[in-house]
């Protein structure tokens, strides 16, 4: 007896043993249904039904037990098929996201951990590079998304941008630095200071250079690095000043450093960039929607299967 035959039996019972009605619902002939029941009882040498004048009128004790088991089997079968169908609809694939090291640590570590764990069938390739390399990879179609600082200088008719977060660049220094009592800094205060800043692969480096040039300044940039924690470490026991995005403060011990804002701050605007396309995959749509919801609305990520149901 297969699943379909179990359904025959259940349908007969649910139609109060009326073979004619049961046959209609099963889309088979009444004689075929009657023959199937008799053959099964003969094969198994058991009576499932009570009969009166050749008609089915009820279930025997064996029939009652068989009905209970048959319903469990059919329900389990349907549940299994439903799960298989849901799994077949689950999105698989690879998404490539480029993020500069600083932004990855300061803004994306918590978000990405949740997103990746929620989607075990998706492979997330996180490319950790400076802005210039990420823009190159984006232009070569080797990335689906890149997280960059605005302005990106990418062609507006080729790439699209979504603002994720706006902050400012601030100065970090030792609590013993001569500027410790200043409420805010002027950019010109840095004219003769020892600076440790990001290297040329970072947009912040070029933002600062443009600012210094606009003020006709040539400060003492004595150290460049790609490591923000190393830059901070250099200031702890010296008069070095480093300039970093203000959210860095969340990741440092405040007693080791002090932070000073600028009177006219440089903005640190983080954007999600991606190529303009006529068609985006479901995975690409999901990743973009999840990033925007997290950074602009404070919504925690959900699994792609849940997201699909929400937008249907």
The domain in which residue 71 lies consists of 3-88
Give the CA radius of gyration of the chain: 34
Pick the last residue of a domain from 66, 88, 110.
88
Please report, for the domain that includes residue 134, its CATH number: 3.40.190.290
Residues 156 and 217 in one domain: yes
> 109-118: which pairs have CB atoms within 8 A and are 24 or more residues apart?
111/291, 111/294, 111/295, 111/301, 114/300, 114/301, 115/287, 115/290, 115/301, 118/301, 118/302, 118/303, 118/304
Instruction: Tell me what pLDDT residue 223 has.
Output: 95
Q: Which of 88, 106, 124 is the last residue of a domain?
A: 88
User: Which residue's structure tokens are 């959900």?
Assistant: 302
What DSSP string describes 81-116? HHHHHHHHHS--EEEEEEE-HHHIIIIIHHHHHHHH
Same structural domain, 152 and 256: yes
Same-domain check for residues 67 and 143: no
231-250 burial, b if ≥16 CB within 10 A, otherwise e?
bbbbbbeeebbbbbbbbbee
Mean pLDDT by 10 residues, the chain (312 residues): 86 92 89 90 91 91 93 88 62 88 90 95 92 88 93 84 95 94 95 93 91 93 91 91 93 84 94 89 93 95 90 77
Q: How many domains does the chain have?
A: 2
Specify whether 109 is located in the same domain as 255: yes
310 located within any domain: no
Residue 86's pLDDT is what?
57
pLDDT of residue 91: 64
Residues 115 and 236 both lie in one domain:
yes
Q: Does residue 277 belong to any structural domain of this protein? A: no
173 lies in a domain? Answer: yes
Res 87: pLDDT? 58
Q: Is residue 278 in a domain?
A: no
What would the two tokens of residue 47 be?
């009576």
> CB–CB of 66/60 below 8 Å?
no
Whether residue 197 sits in one domain with residue 101: yes
Name the domain boundary from 72, 88, 104: 88
């Amino acid at each position: 007896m297969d699943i379909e035959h179990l359904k025959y039996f259940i349908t007969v019972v649910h139609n109060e043993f009326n073979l004619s009605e049961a046959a209609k619902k099963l889309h088979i002939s009444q004689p075929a249904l009657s023959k199937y029941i008799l053959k099964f009882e003969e094969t198994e040498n058991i009576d499932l039904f009570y009969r009166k004048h050749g008609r089915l009128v009820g279930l025997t004790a064996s029939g009652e037990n068989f009905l209970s088991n048959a319903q469990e089997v059919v329900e389990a079968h349907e549940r299994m098929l439903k799960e298989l169908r849901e799994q077949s609809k689950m999105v698989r694939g690879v998404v490539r996201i480029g993020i500069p090291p600083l932004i990855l640590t300061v803004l994306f570590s918590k978000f990405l951990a949740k997103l990746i764990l929620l989607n075990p069938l998706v492979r997330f390739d996180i490319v950790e590079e400076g802005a210039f390399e990420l823009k190159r990879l984006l232009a070569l179609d080797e990335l689906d998304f890149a997280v960059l600082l605005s302005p990106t200088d990418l062609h507006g008719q080729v790439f699209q941008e979504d603002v994720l977060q706006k902050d400012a660049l601030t100065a970090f220094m030792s609590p013993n630095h001569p500027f410790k009592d200043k409420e805010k800094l002027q950019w010109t205060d840095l004219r003769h200071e020892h600076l440790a800043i990001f290297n040329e692969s970072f947009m912040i480096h070029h933002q600062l250079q443009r600012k210094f040039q606009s003020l006709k300044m040539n400060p003492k940039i004595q150290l460049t690095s790609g490591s923000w924690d190393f830059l901070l470490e250099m200031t702890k026991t010296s008069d070095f000043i480093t300039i970093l995005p203000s959210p860095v403060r969340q990741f440092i011990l405040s007693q080791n450093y002090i932070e000073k804002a600028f009177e006219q701050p440089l903005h640190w605007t983080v954007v999600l960039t991606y190529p303009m396309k006529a068609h985006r995959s479901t995975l690409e749509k999901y990743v973009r929607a999840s990033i925007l919801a997290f950074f602009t609305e404070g919504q925690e990520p959900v699994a792609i299967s849940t997201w699909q149901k929400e937008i249907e």
